[in-house]
Amino acid sequence: MARPSNKKKLVTDSILFILEKSIDGYLAFDDFIHNPMLSRERLRKSELSRIMEALRKQGLVELLNDEELSFRLTDSGRDRALWKKMQIGDEKWDGKWRLVIWDVPEKRRAARDLLRYKLKQLGFKQWQQSVWASKVNCTKLLRDFIKKVGIADWVMVMESDNVGV
């Protein structure tokens, strides 16, 4: 399988970032053409169409309205956008720590392991056995994940700008 060109990868990541920053991760196709992040790439509509279709097939965006060609970021797309932002590391820290505290029972071990994997993926660091912390703004994503996995009764996610001794 051929590796995507740097331009295509940059445009793909830019689209995910744009959708992640938009309200509810929703934008119409024409809004992309006039977005400053993409306009410097001088994209043709046909090229943007191919990239959006590829993102849709990968499950990263979904087409909301076929007539006005509006797209929304999926949970997988939001995960990927956040992961890319963490790798780039250029987003300024908002001064808030994200803390996750849990006591998931042994009978839900698989879900507990999945939570630990997700926390590592999101850049969390372990402070104590069941206490993890991060500076990454991913509280909503993490809470949605916890509900989806069905462990909300045993997990607490907090944001605080006052963490210390």
Instruction: Please report, for the chain, the start and end positions of each structural domain, with discontinuous segments joined by +.
Output: 6-86, 97-160
C-beta separation of 49 from 120 below 8 A: no
**3-state SS, one letter per residue, for 38-99:** HHCCCCCHHHHHHHHHHHHHCCCEEEEECCCCEEEECHHHHHHHHHHHHHHCCCCCCCCEEE
Asked if the domains at 6-86 and 97-160 fall in one CATH topology, the answer is no
Q: What kind of fold does domain 97-160 have according to CATH?
A: Alpha-Beta Plaits (3.30.70)
pLDDT band with cut points at 50, 70 and 90 for residue 103: very high
pLDDT of residue 131: 93
The pTM (predicted TM-score) of the whole model is 0.53
pLDDT of residue 94: 84
Class of the domain covering 6-86 = mainly alpha
Overall average pLDDT of the 101-120 stretch: 91
What is the CB neighbour count within 10 angstroms for residue 151?
Answer: 18
